[in-house]
Amino acid sequence: MNNREKSSSLAEIRGNFGRLGGVKLGKIKHNPIVKKLGFNRIILCCVLVLMYVLFCFTGKNFAGLPRILSALNYVYFLGFLSLGVTFVIGTGGIDFSIGPVMFCAALVSGFCLTSHGMPVLLCLLISILVGTMFGIFNGYLVSYWSVPPFIVSMASMNIAKGVASVFTKTQSVSWPQGVDANGWFRKLIKVGDFPVGLVIFLVFAVICSVILNKTRAGRYILSLGSNKEAVRLSGVNVRKWEMLAYVICGTMAGIAAIFFVAAYTTVQPGYGDTYNNEAIAGCVMGGTSMAGGLASIGGTVIGVFIIALLQEGILALGFTKDYQLIITGLIVIGAVYADVVARRRRN
Amino acid sequence: MGEVILKMKEISKAFPGVQALDKVDFEVKRGEVHALMGENGAGKSTLMKVLTGIYAKDSGTITFEGKEVEFHNTRDAQKAGIVIVHQELNMLGHLTVAQNIFIGREFKKGIRIDDRKMNEETKKLFDRLHIDIEPTETMSNLTVGKQQMCEIAKAISHDAKVIVFDEPSAALTETEIEELFKIIRDLRKQQIGIVYISHRMDEIKVITDRVTVMRDGCYVGTLITEECTKDDIINMMVGRVIYENPKEKSMVAEDAPVVLKVEHLNAGKMVRDVSFELRKGEILGFSGLMGAGRTETARAIFGADAKESGDIYVNGQKVEINSPEEAVKCGIGYLSEDRKRYGIVVHKTVAENSTMACLGDYVRGLFINKKAERNISQDYVNSLATKTPGVDELVVNLSGGNQQKVVIAKWLIRDCDILIFDEPTRGIDVGAKNEIYKLMNRLASEGKSIIMISSEMTEILRMSDRIVVMCEGKKTGEISIEEASQESIMNMATREIG
């Protein structure tokens, strides 16, 4: 099976599983344990494991720790982007600016570090702040001025790129290496061979999940994604909560920037938009509905793992980065189509 | 009445967990108006969807014009001559009437669309049906009633032999319903078979020849309309006779305080200088024709839409209400006429919908106290007799009447003292309707004050202590229940004030 088939079969699994199995599947789906974990998520986990095994057999030197650690580097920053955008998609909105905002945060804070000699800790905070600012900007325009999120985030994508270029005078920025005195922040992802980043990421995922499912913010964010007018007419300040989703998303992009530079150190201005697709793909694949109202953090986490593994696998199979773009693009379409099919069946 | 044109025999259809149709029989003769009745969830729509090919049946046969048929989609059914006129209108507002009617099958002159021919054909069609609408008029300029006429004309232009009307009168005014009936009688004369789905008992008596009643997916029986009474039909639908007694005099104490006072309210074209008072424990009926501005008035009071001027007093205190949030803080709750769009959140459970207006009270520290939330929701499920498998059921799986009860529970849990019920029983079956009436009377006797907007005259006369009548955005009258009659209200509802 080559990669392209692989990606479309992913979509099929998401879209068709209900029809494939018939009665037996129905039984499995209603098993209380399966219900608790979520049938889709179990399927996604299986896909993840299968993909890994597949790459181990077909890819060059794929099995083993180095590849896993390399894939994890991808998981971290993409994971934070995906977690953030899950909130926005949960409101029925979209944010196409997260990738460039992440780069903008990394560049601005990195420039503060390398050219102005600010302390590392402060720079990391600046990174988060930059992300949050963009979140506030997007959120305010979407919720208080009712500008369509598609337009707002497209525009702020370009603004983020522009701001980063102006700030750094179109120079790329290299954060310090691990051996430097200032390189301690790289331990955020790895101490020796121990993936600290994975722990941090999973902790954040749990926090996000709690916010989404157990707090007022999460309840209102998903409810307004499902039926904004009904929530407004219940006397809820929907604008505030809708904006909050974008702010969370922006903050997450700022955190993602930290993990990006911790993994790859060098950031170039003018890029970052490819990660939008990947983050959204991970989110939607995990069962978050583009129409809003339904979101699953657990699903997003698995989705992110799949996307990251795929990026790594494609390279390991000897394809160039261009194929990554093609395949991720197809996955986004596949995942969103599966969501559309699922929604149609529900109605 | 002619011979049987359409016969459905022993139709069964199951959805996961539900037997939606269980060996249902149904037939329509040429030139007959056949009512299909039953409570919500009885299977009427499912039966019609099986007929027109939207759902595939599990078993049974459909015979149309003597041949056994099976349609796979609505277009197949349309081609054969079976069309549905849906409750919701499927018209494009920015196109003309003629363009809408011939959409998808436009006449062409070369590559250009031949608008003149379409207008002529539409004119011919309208003349045949005695519809008085200009084919070149833009659709969005027409009233809902006129748009419905166009929808019917469009159905007939498909050379229909059987037309299914799915609650055609839900959005129509009394005069428009009269016009609709005229058209239906015309169609009957032309030997077209008509299926008429409606909840309104009065209409059934007036327009139909036979009535078939369904209950819980089963066929209950068919009656000849002339030979049966309203109660016979209701009995078959619910298996029991019930009806809340009409009010003969106001139940409000003489000295009951005024809880809501609205003075000179203005909001857009539809709310012009509206003033009224609502007293404690009162059910204040808002009557008027469709488009009289009643919903707009309610929304302006509730802060859902912006208002231009006017003062609102709650319990004697002047209040500023610019958003639903502020209205709710003043203890006002609003049940929208469009439950699906403005009332419920479909992806959420009964419990989650119930606490939507006061989630803050169910937050402990940072987290929602789900146990308390479930408990309070369960209390209201019990006291309102909401039929649901549990409070963790998604609200979308409940029937219309029970969804309405969840929305009511939402406002009761919020402890709102002033409730605005906008068409509270629209699209709800007889049994549930009666329960809603009882509930409203109970709430009023417990000291809640209710504004009830309703387009059904019988409902207004049955429930209100006092009636405010509106016409074209203005209040045209106010009358106590003792003096009110259909005629007096209708008079005010059609009265123009300069």
Convert the pLDDT of each residue in A284-332 to its tens digit: 989 899 989 999 999 999 999 999 998 888 888 888 888 888 888 898 8
Q: What is the mean pLDDT of residues B257-267?
A: 94
Nearest to A233 by CA among B356, B291, B403: B356
B130, B183 contact by CB (below 8 A)? yes
A229, B342 contact by CB (below 8 A)? yes
Residue-level pLDDT at A3:
43
Residue-level pLDDT at A157:
95
Angle formed by the axes of helices A23-30 and A3-21, nearest 10°: 90
Helix (H, G, I), strand (E, B) or coil at B348: coil
Show the domain range for A88: 76-274
Question: Could you give the CA distance from residue B371 to residue B380 in angstroms, rounded to a whole number?
Answer: 14
Phi, psi of B132 (to 5 degrees): -105, 80
pTM: 0.76
Question: Could you give the CA distance from residue B421 to residue B402 in angstroms, rounded to a whole number?
Answer: 15
For chain B, list the domains and their CATH numbers. Answer: 4-238 (3.40.50.300), 258-493 (3.40.50.300)
**Position A291 in a domain:** no
Nearest to A127 by CA among A243, A246, A248, A261: A261
Phi, psi of B346 (to 5 degrees): -65, -30
Question: Could you give the CA distance from residue B63 to residue B3 in angstroms, rounded to a whole number?
Answer: 13
Residue-level pLDDT at A8:
43
Query: Which residue in the set B325, B347, B367 is minimally distant from A236, CB to CB?
Result: B325
pLDDT above 70: percentage of residues in chain B: 94
Residue-level pLDDT at B264:
95
Residue-level pLDDT at B238:
67
Query: Which residue in the set A219, A233, A235 is minimally distant from B336, CB to CB?
Result: A233
Interface of A to B at Cβ within 8 Å reads 26, 210, 214-216, 219-220, 222-223, 226-227, 229-237, 293-294
- Number of domains within chain A: 1
Q: What is the mean pLDDT of residues A134-144?
A: 97
Predicted confidence (pLDDT) at residue A10 exceeds the cutoff of 60: no
Predicted confidence (pLDDT) at residue A178 exceeds the cutoff of 80: no
Place of tokens 């790329």: A172
Q: Which residues of B touch A230 (CB under 8 A)?
A: 336, 341-345, 356
DSSP per residue over A313-334, as a string?
Answer: HHHHTT--HHHHHHHHHHHHHH
Predicted confidence (pLDDT) at residue B371 exceeds the cutoff of 90: yes
Q: What is the mean pLDDT of residues B459-483?
A: 90
**Selected residues 145-204 of chain B with any CB under 8 Å from a CB in chain A:** none
Average pLDDT, chain A: 87
Residue-level pLDDT at B217:
84
Confidence class of residue A147 from pLDDT cuts 50, 70 and 90? very high
Question: Could you give the CA distance from residue A81 to residue A283 in angstroms, rounded to a whole number?
Answer: 9
The distance of A276 to chain B (nearest Cα, Å) reads: 27
Pairing of strands B112-113, B67-68: unpaired
- CB-CB under 8 Å, B304 with A233: yes
B265, B300 contact by CB (below 8 A)? yes
Q: Where does residue B420 fall: left (phi above 0), alpha (psi -120 to 50 degrees), or beta otherwise? A: beta
Place of tokens 């179109």: A170
Helix (H, G, I), strand (E, B) or coil at B223: strand
Name the amino acid, one letter, at A96.
F
Convert the pLDDT of each residue in B304-350 to its tens digit: 999 999 999 999 999 999 999 999 999 999 998 888 788 899 889 99
**Position A307 in a domain:** no
Confidence class of residue B239 from pLDDT cuts 50, 70 and 90? low
Residue-level pLDDT at A335:
85
Nearest to A231 by CA among B175, B28, B328, B491: B328
**Position A246 in a domain:** yes
A262, A109 contact by CB (below 8 A)? no
Convert the pLDDT of each residue in B129-163 to its tens digit: 778 888 998 888 887 778 888 888 888 888 889 99
Convert the pLDDT of each residue in B41-77 to its tens digit: 678 888 998 998 888 888 999 999 989 998 888 888 8
Question: Could you give the CA distance from residue B127 to residue B132 in angstroms, rounded to a whole number?
Answer: 8
Query: Which residue in the set B302, B323, B356 is minimally distant from A231, CB to CB?
Result: B356
Degrees, nearest 5: CA angle A247-A250-A254 = 135
Residue-level pLDDT at B241:
44
Convert the pLDDT of each residue in B425-447 to its tens digit: 876 767 778 888 988 999 999 99
Predicted confidence (pLDDT) at residue B39 exceeds the cutoff of 80: no
Degrees, nearest 5: CA angle B167-B168-B173 = 115
Nearest to B137 by CA among B100, B112, B88: B100
Confidence class of residue A19 from pLDDT cuts 50, 70 and 90? very low
Residue B421 sits at the chain A interface (C-beta within 8 Å)? no
Q: Which two tokens stand for residue B469?
A: 């009548």
DSSP B295: H
Query: Which residue in the set A223, A226, A235 is minimally distant from B327, CB to CB?
Result: A235
Convert the pLDDT of each residue in B303-312 to its tens digit: 999 999 999 9
**Position A121 in a domain:** yes
Q: Which two tokens stand for residue B83?
A: 């069309």
ipTM computed for the complex:
0.81
Q: What is the mean pLDDT of residues B185-195?
A: 90
pLDDT above 90: percentage of residues in chain A: 57
Burial class (CB in 10 A: 0-12, 13-18, 19+), A347: exposed
The distance of B227 to chain A (nearest Cα, Å) reads: 40
Average pLDDT, chain B: 86
**Position A262 in a domain:** yes
Q: What is the mean pLDDT of residues B266-285?
A: 92
B413, A234 contact by CB (below 8 A)? no
Residue B380 sits at the chain A interface (C-beta within 8 Å)? no
Residue-level pLDDT at A229:
92
B274, B313 contact by CB (below 8 A)? no
Residue-level pLDDT at B422:
92
B362, B406 contact by CB (below 8 A)? no
